[in-house]
Amino acid sequence: MEELINKLKEEIIDVLNLEGMKPEDIDENAPLFGEGLGLDSIDALELIVLLEKNYGIKLKNANEGKEIFKSVRVMAEYINEHRTK
Amino acid sequence: MKTKHYIYQKGHHIVTPLAVGSEANFEAIATGHSPLRQYRQQWDIPEPFFAALFPVETFHETSLQQYTRFENIAIQAAEGAIQRAGIDASNPRVLFVISTTKGNVEALENEKAQPANQAYLWHSAQLITSHFGNHNTPIVVSNACISGCAAQITAFNMLQYSDLYDYVVVIGAEVLSRFIIAGFQSFKALSPERCKPFDKNRCGLNLGEAAAAIVYARCEDETQIPDQGIVMTAGAINNDANHISGPSRTGEGLKRSINKVTENFDTKQIAFINAHGTATLYNDDMESIALQRCGLQHIPVNSLKGYYGHTLGAAGVMEVILSSIALQKQMVIKSLGTEEPGTAQPLNVCMENTSAHGNAFLKLISGFGGSNAALLFTLKHASL
Amino acid sequence: MTEQSFNTLIKCEITASTAKVNGQTILQRTDASEDWFSQLYHAIGMQYPKFFKMDRLCKAGILGAELLLKDFDYDRENVKADWGIILMNSASSLDNDRHFQETIATDNYYPSPAVFVYTLANIVTGEIAIRHKTGGESSFYVMPSFDEQLMNTLVNQAYMANPELTHIICGWVNVDGEEVDVRMKVVER
């Protein structure tokens, strides 16, 4: 799990162009949206693409993301359970 | 330029997957027709989508074979409008203003194999104006979803504030492609069925192809406007300065645009409001908030997206033409697709075709990039 | 033709190797290995993480607007309905459109929303409006080459049509592959 969390942090920094951020700067238990990283609705959509592209998980609608993107840890747990690649 | 001009529509034409001609399109929607349907495997896009695409017959005209689909329909729309206006489009006092968001973007699928500059909007625009023997450099307006209305504001300003042209031909055209559909799908913005503008269960937009053109003319004396003529009274654009893709939560930019065009105008004369009404959750809420803040929420409002889908660069031009005909016929077209209105602020959504009362209509449009436009049109009565 | 109804306050230029304000070079590209736009961003001390999410057209426009306004005294807190933006270019958003096209290849089909959002030329006016809180007119035009006379005509007309407008950020912002051509100015009625 810890390995997946770190990999996920790197992927998030990369696809969301979080300039100057390192994996250790992201608290895996902190909310991804709202304060924290300053992510917005387009970032949420891009995370949906990340789930599909890297882990073969297809979300039906953007609303499902709300639960999954609560924190990096929640996201990693979801991936662990649902990944197809 | 100190003289105030009246800027009016001298001729227009619409080409859609539903019908050819402004009147024909109006009759078709007034009787509840729509070309929207589901497409599967179109352009090898994995997910099905609901849209309105031109049938192949639209492009059968042999004299236009050298043009791309986009240029072809733009020319067809302009040709019809120019004919009805009875003007010589090759005259140097005629300017073309062309509205589109993506033009020939499908040329990028294999750009090197295409003729040089095919993907460039200015290049397409020049091919279109050359077709009519016009040598003025056309102005392309690419302002996302508000392009069609922004182009009419540019035309208005050119005729009102400069003495360079007597006529401006405004063309709005858009063809769809793998590029555009894939993009909107990635935005999770598309409805899997017919869109439901202003409905409490609305869940996204449909996309559509269309081309429409209006020839705008000017005159100094009101009596020169033909009876039943449609005059563009005012237009305004304001930016929300809030988000590049999400509509403002306060409707601030749209509110300022509406207030600007209705300044010194008796809003009791407004027969109806043709809103943008894309059927996305946030757009329709935003429009309802802006209208409520302007105190215009009681005026009948409709969206034409349930008939044609969102036709992007064509929308502002086509919807103004259809609304102009509705105003001339003193009628409000129902908002097809709306079952039970439900927006952040209540609106008087037109649920059935009804008679209109007033000699003006307001056109609203908003889009990516945070821009919001409002246009006000009035009907010239014989009694004036 | 109507007389010019405005004065130019500040001008800037950005090419693929230089950045100038009012004709004075403020940065010359020296390190070809570092991204030129990032180099310029750091050199002028900009702090705006959203910059790194933008496509190259928006980066060019945002940097141009920053060069114009970083030392200018204006209201940075509130949305200003009396400020407008009028920009034009020749490649619209094609530079980024090519990038989006790569994300929808048949054998690797993952359309990127973060790339798609920049496939509209006028997003650059939106980004500048957000950064500098300009709430008046924002317009984007596509022309074969920079026609300064047309630009001035459009600015003149915007002033006549919108009596409330005081300042307009305007000019040419073109990014097309290797080509970077920014020529912007702030004008005042």
Same domain, B211 and B232: no
pLDDT at C164: 95
Looking up tokens 């141009």 gives C64
Helix (H) or strand (E) holding B8: strand B6-15
User: For A33, which DSSP code?
Assistant: B
| Cα–Cα distance list, A30 to A33, A40, C50, C147 (Å) | 9, 16, 21, 51
- Please tell me the distance from the alpha carbon of residue C85 to that of residue C150, in angstroms, as a whole number: 15
What is the distance, to the nearest Å, from the Cα of residue A6 to the centroid of all Cα atoms in its chain?
11
Q: C-alpha angle with apex C149: C147 to C152, nearest 5 degrees?
A: 115
Q: What DSSP line would sit under B338-354, residue for residue? A: -SSB--SS---B--S-E
B356 and B264 Cβ atoms separated by less than 8 Å: no
* HEC secondary structure over B65-107: CCCCHHHHHHHHHHHHHHHHHCCCCCCCCEEEEEECCCCCHHH
Is A50 among the domain residues? yes
* Alpha carbon distance B246, B255 (integer Å): 16
Q: Is B242 on the interface with A (CB under 8 A)?
A: no
Is the same domain home to B57 and B178? yes
Count of domains in chain A? Answer: 1
pLDDT in tens, B311-345: 999 999 999 999 999 999 999 999 999 999 999 99
Q: What is the pLDDT of residue C33?
A: 87
- Select from B122, B187, B369 the Cβ nearest to the Cβ of C120: B369
The whole domain housing A63 covers: 2-17+31-82
Tell me whether B201 touches chain A (CB under 8 Å): no
| Under 8 Å between Cβ of B272 and B300 | yes
Which segment of B20-29, B57-66, C6-15, C128-137 scores lowest on mean pLDDT? Answer: B57-66
Question: Does A24 map to a domain?
Answer: no
Same domain as B284, residue B153: no
Domain boundary among B155, B190, B219: B219
For residue B73, report the phi and psi dihedrals to the nearest 5 degrees: -70, -30
Domain boundary (B219, B236, B261) is at: B219
Mind telling me how many Å the CA of A5 is from chain C's nearest CA? 23
pLDDT digits (tens, 9 = 90+) for B59-83: 998 899 999 999 999 999 999 999 9
CA–CA distance from B48 to each of B35, B112, B182, B190 (Å)?
16, 29, 11, 10
In a domain, B384, yes or no: no
Which pLDDT belongs to residue B61?
87
Answer yes or no: is pLDDT of B383 > 60.
no
Residue-level pLDDT at B384: 43
Cβ-based contacts of A49 with chain B (< 8 Å): 186
Q: Are A49 and B186 inside 8 Å of each other by CB?
A: yes
Task: Give C-chain residues touching A52 at CB under 8 angstroms.
Answer: 110
Counted across chains B and C, CB pairs separated by less than 8 A come out at 177
| Shortest CA gap B178–chain C (Å) | 8
Chain C CA closest to residue B235: C161
Shortest Cα distance from C79 to chain A (angstroms)? 20
Q: Predicted confidence band at C31 (pLDDT cuts at 50, 70, 90)?
A: confident
Contact B246 A41 (CB under 8 A): yes
A22 in a structural domain:
no
Q: What CATH superfamily classification does C7-188 receive?
A: Thiolase/Chalcone synthase (3.40.47.10)
Mean pLDDT (chain C) is: 96
Provide the 3-class DSSP secondary structure of residue B234: strand
Distances in whole angstroms, Cα of residue C20 to Cα of each of C26, C31, C182? 5, 18, 10
Cα–Cα distance for residue pair C24/C17, rounded to 1 Å: 14
The reply to whether B246 touches chain A by the CB within 8 Å rule is yes
B265, part of any domain: yes
- The identity of residue C110, as a single letter, is Y
Closest-CA residue to C21 (of C47, C40, C2, C48): C40
B167 is in which domain, residue-wise?
7-219
Based on the fold, state whether residues B213 and B234 are members of the same structural domain. no
Contacts of B343 (CB under 8 A, 6+ apart): B198, B200, B284, B285, B287, B288
This model of the complex carries an ipTM of: 0.97
H or E segment to which residue C37 belongs: helix C36-43
What CA–CA distance (Å, rounded) separates B301 from B348? 6
Which tokens sit at A34? 């709202």
Question: What pLDDT shows up at residue B118?
Answer: 96
Answer whether residue C2 shows pLDDT above 70: no
* Confidence (pLDDT) at A65: 86
The Cα of A16 is separated from the nearest Cα of chain C by a number of Å equal to 7
In a domain, residue B256? The reply is: yes
**B181 with B236, same domain?**
no
What pLDDT was estimated at residue A66? Answer: 85
Q: Domain check: are B67 and B114 in the same one?
A: yes
Query: Is position B1 within any domain?
Result: no
pLDDT value at residue C4: 77
Every domain of chain C and the residues it spans: 7-188
Chain A hits for C51, Cβ within 8 Å: 19
Portion of chain B with pLDDT greater than 70, in percent: 99
- B198 with B242, same domain: the answer is no
- Chain C contact for A19, CB < 8 A? yes
Interface contact B246-A49, CB threshold 8 A: no
Cα of C99 to nearest chain A Cα, Å: 14
Looking up tokens 């005509």 gives: C153
Buried b (16+ CB within 10 A) or exposed e, A38-62: ebbbbbbbbbbbbbebbbebebeee
What's residue B1's pLDDT? 47
Contact of B77 with B13, CB cutoff 8 Å: yes
Helix B315-328 × helix B22-30 angle, to 10°: 70
CATH of the domain at B24: 3.40.47.10
Helix ranges, chain B (H):
22-30, 69-85, 121-131, 147-161, 178-186, 252-262, 281-293, 305-308, 315-328
- Which residues in A lie closer than 8 A to residue B186 (C-beta atoms)? 45, 49
Residues B46 and B195 in one domain: yes
Give the residue on B whose Cα is nearest the Cα of C53: B244
Using CA atoms, how far apart are residues C58 and B89, in angstroms rounded to an integer? 36
Structure letter (DSSP) for residue A51: H
Band of residue B277 on the pLDDT scale cut at 50, 70, 90 = very high
CB–CB of B187 and A48 under 8 A?
no
Residues B74 and B166 in one domain: yes
* B189 within some domain: yes
In a domain, A25, yes or no: no
What value does the mean pLDDT take over residues B289-298? 98
Neighbours of B293 (CB within 10 A): 18
Decide if A40 and B186 are in contact by the 8 Å CB cutoff.
Answer: no
Query: Does B237 share its domain with B198?
Result: no
A83/A76 Cα distance (integer angstroms): 10
Residue C187 confidence (pLDDT): 98
* Cα R_g (chain A), whole angstroms: 12
C139 touches B136 (CB < 8 A) = no
Q: Is A48 within a domain?
A: yes
DSSP string of C151-169? HHHHHHHHHHH-TT--EEE
| Residue contact A62–B246, C-beta within 8 A | no
Task: Note the pLDDT of residue A85.
Answer: 84
Kindly report the average pLDDT of chain B as a whole number.
Answer: 96
Of residues C110, C111, C113, nearest to A42 (C-beta):
C113
pLDDT tens digit sequence for C71-125: 999 999 999 999 999 999 999 999 999 999 999 999 999 999 999 999 999 999 9
Q: Which of A33-42, B144-153, C178-187 has the lowest mean pLDDT?
A: A33-42
Which residue, B189, B219, B249, sits at the end of a domain? B219
Alpha helix stretches (DSSP H) within C71-121: 94-103, 113-116
> Would an 8 Å CB–CB cutoff place A38 in contact with chain C?
yes
User: Are residues B155 and B294 located together in one domain of the fold?
Assistant: no
Residue with the two structure tokens 């031009």: B317
Number of domains in chain B: 2
A63 part of a folded domain? yes
Give, as one character, the DSSP assignment of residue B138.
P
What is the structure's pLDDT at C3?
66
| pLDDT number for residue B246 | 86
Digit-coded pLDDT (tens) for B207-230: 999 999 999 999 999 999 999 999
* Residue B2 located in a structural domain: no
